[in-house]
Amino acid sequence: MKAFEWKGVFPALTTKFDSQEELDLPEFAKNLQAQLDGGIHGIILGGSLGEASTITEAEKETLVKFSQEKLEGKIPVILNIAEGSTREATRQAKLAQEWGADGLMLLPPMRYKADDRETTAFFKAVAQSTELPIMLYNNPVDYKIEITLDMFESLIEEKNITAVKESTRDVSNVTRLVNRFGDRLKILCGVDTLALEELVLGADGWVAGLVCAFPAETVAIYQLVKAGKIAEALTIYRWFLPLLELDLHPKLVQYIKLAEQEAGIGSEYVRAPRLALEGAERTRILKIIQDGIAKRPKL
């Protein structure tokens, strides 16, 4: 396990499948190389965008080991944990460490709306089961559980809880976190359409979705904001926004995979119950993607 900083652009990578819904490692490798060439700072495997709910434990192991082999330690490999029971989440955390993951992204308990005490106990139990650094995913909009500032106060007693994926949709939460915890918790924006705003407010990084299809543009926005070149970042961001909005839909996986395909670094194959887009919906999304590619800014 190597030390790393929760800083920069961390793509929530899609899981590449072939037409038979089996892992497509050559396609995954192609996208991974495109991400590296674009200058990203770490990868997240098996997130919501990685179709976490449909991939098996064996496939997670394959993805972690394959990524580590290809990346050769250049950037950290983070595995997402999204489980319903504390027992299963702690087991997965131990496995992730055995497989060679560098860190974890951890969701609150799935399928049961835990209260504050239960959620805190869940996160602490997982943190105590591993040495890996952990980024907690705070997304009350999609997962109905909010990690409050008071909960974070208790949670950071665990030394390896070191970051938060900030997806509350309230950009002022970045300032609240900084005011309360200084740099004890790294903050990564988890909502593509709020990334520029949260980076300006002091977020340390961006867990990105459309980066899967547009790595260079995503990294450029991050670097320009951090260099104080807000006007230049805004030019790219304004071009990017119609594409970034594809990240906010329940079908974000299908939309982003279609974008990867159009960008030449992926395919639109998904695993059922998801189905590839068709008809008017596909035509509409394809137009957004193709319009974006046609007007792609020169970096």
The DSSP result for 146-209, as a single string, is ---HHHHHHHTTSTTEEEEEE-SS-THHHHHHHHHHTTSSEEEE--GGGHHHHHHTT--EEEES
Q: Is the pLDDT of residue 141 over 90?
A: no
Residue with the two structure tokens 């596909």 = 282
* Summary mean pLDDT of the chain: 97
- DSSP β-ladder status, 8-11 and 205-208: parallel
**pLDDT attached to residue 140:** 78
- Whether the predicted model's global pTM rises above the 0.85 cut: yes
Lowest-confidence region among 115-119, 138-142, 201-205: 138-142
* Domain-wise residue ranges, the chain: 8-230
Contacts of 125 (CB under 8 A, 6+ apart): 86, 89, 90
Domain 8-230 = CATH 3.20.20.70: yes
- For residues 192 and 135, give the distance between their C-alpha atoms in angstroms, rounded to a whole number: 17
pLDDT digits (tens, 9 = 90+) for 174-192: 999 999 999 999 999 999 9
Is residue 225 within 8 Å of 233, Cβ to Cβ?
yes
Residue from 245, 188, 176 nearest 41 by CA: 188
Q: CA 51, 259, 271 angle in degrees (round to 5)? A: 30
